[in-house]
Structure 1
Amino acid sequence: MKLYIKNMVCSRCKMVVKSELEKAGMQPVTVDLGEVEVKEHPAPEQLKQLESSLNELGFELIDDQKSRLIEQIKTIIIEQVHHIDTQSPLKLSALLTSKLYYDYSHLSNLFSAVEGSTIEKYYIAQRIEKVKELLVYNELNLSEIAFQLGYSSVAHLSSQFKQVTGMTPSAFKALQGSKRRNLEDI
């Protein structure tokens, strides 16, 4: 049986959720970002215990189809931006369509209606957070960051960065990352 969990955005989140599943007496088969498969269908009291402990840790069990689809969209974007070293050759719309088996216009309309923002804005926000992270680590120059994140040019990256943050990448770098946010807060 699959369970969907909101705010599961990193490897540590996966470890915490796996631990909570085991405490609730469930046997996780797989634990991925935003999605868990358990061996057997959990009893109602197990689900209630799991939901309570997850809520205390900032996670949330998702039980309706629309919310699950939104969480899957976010998970795919987070994986693409933060956990995969090379950008997909597919456009974001084609990537989401191929992984979720829904028409992109349906996904886009649903995301906008539920989140109050577009998929593209969410994707841009994630990319900018990754740029901030890479700037703070100071291992790559702006050209290398632009290439790694699939920007067409340094100018495009800089323009988008300034539009989202209100400052240039070099001004941000001078602040040494004081404007970074947790992924789950985006």
Structure 2
Amino acid sequence: MMVKSELEKFGLHPDAVRLGEAEISRDLSAEEKHDLDARFRELGFELLDDRKTRLIESVKTCILESIHYSEEPLKITFSEYLSEKFNQDYSTLSKLFSEVQGMTIEQYVITQKIEKVKELLVYDELSLSEIALQLNYSSVSHLSKQFKKVTGLTPTHFKQVKEIKRIPLDKL
């Protein structure tokens, strides 16, 4: 809503605004881009106009939506899902993602999954088995090993130490 409101203040009426992107049907002048970029940076956003960067942001948004906002776990791997979604070979997407982000898609997915596990552990509504199932882990053991590798704690220990703060999604 904030992005849409700011665009409208600039006299721009976006065709669509979704998590991570806004579509505007006309080209912007260099001055408009500069002014928008300055305003969005004040608000903690970044204006992306590069095709590669937009693609990577779309990949990240797709991963975020799948892990954090989807009710159903994926029935296929992330590599298959992203290849189908973006109609591109996964190795091409992966190479571009690593080049732009400085980490692999797999590392990004793991980071997001671990943050979701932390969130679910803090809420304390699901068992570890249910969390593993919801996030499409092959087993509780796999989830626990990955969690410990990333956080240095077992899920059980993390649950006991509630004062450990989660990393906000926009800081990952």
Give the alignment's TM-score, normalised by structure 2: 0.93
Count of aligned residue pairs for this structure pair: 172
Q: Which letter does structure 1 place at the counterpart of 2:146?
A: Q
The residue matched to 1:27 in structure 2 has which SS? coil
Alignment counterpart, residue 74 of structure 2, candidates 83, 88, 99? 88
User: Which structure has the higher relative contact order (CA within 8 Å, separation 6+)?
Assistant: 1
CA distance in 2, matches of 1:74, 1:112: 12
Conservation of the 8 A alpha-carbon contact between 1:25 and 1:46: no
Does residue 3 of structure 2 align to residue 47 of structure 1?
no
Aligned position for 1:4 = none
Query: 1:68: Cα distance to partner?
Result: 1.3
Q: Which letter does structure 2 place at the counterpart of 1:180?
A: R
Aligned position for 2:109 = 123
Unaligned residue ranges in structure 2 (runs of 5+): none
Query: 1:171: Cα distance to partner?
Result: 1.2
Alignment counterpart, residue 58 of structure 2, candidates 72, 88, 91? 72
The residue matched to 2:47 in structure 1 has which SS? strand
Q: Which letter does structure 2 place at the counterpart of 1:143?
A: S
> C-alpha root-mean-square deviation of aligned residues, in Å?
1.5
Aligned position for 1:175 = 161
CA distance in 1, matches of 2:103, 2:113: 16
User: Kindly, what percent of the aligned residue pairs are identical?
Assistant: 54
Does residue 51 of structure 2 align to residue 60 of structure 1?
no
Q: Which letter does structure 2 place at the counterpart of 1:38?
A: I
Q: Which letter does structure 1 place at the counterpart of 2:2?
A: V
Unaligned residue ranges in structure 1 (runs of 5+): 1-14
CA distance in 1, matches of 2:69, 2:27: 30
